[in-house]
Amino acid sequence: KIAYAYYASLFGACLRVTTDRGICGLNFFQNKERPSALAGLKSRWQNATLIENPAATRSFVDRIFNPLARQRSTPLHLLLSGTNFQIKVWEALIKIPMGAVVSYEDVAAHIGMPKASRAVGNAVGSNPISFVIPCHRVIRKTAEFGNYGGGVARKLAILGWEAVQSN
């Protein structure tokens, strides 16, 4: 069973997804993209029973978008489905400090595969729990912000917000 709900966050509309075992999805979208956000969820979890249940997912929203609530509470539990390589990349992303940015090459070096920056980019792009697994903190080595599932403007807004929060 997977509970999901739509929320208005600091950075726009998002689809929040949880199970009894933890958070398994958080995706930003434009309001007109709501049906495709749900279709993506159904595609990712084909054998799950999906239930729209804002009450079941609400408790996590404040912990995700409120740094003080995140510091005071127990760690968030994540339920991830991916290849071993993807999981390794996502674990590396979680270690990037709030307000910092690194390159795809930096992540590849961190996981011990310095020539795998393109594969790292693919893993970053397939991150199912954006913001919580901070794929927005990865930029190109040329300092370009590159692609972001939620759009470059949203990525810049999140990075700016984090820079203020971390000071």
Q: Is 24 one of the catalytic residues?
A: no
CA atoms within 13 A on the CB side of 89: 32
Catalytic residue among 135, 138, 139, 159: 135
Instruction: Give the residue from 41, 12, 37 showing the smallest Cα distance to 151.
Output: 12
* Residues noted as catalytic: 135
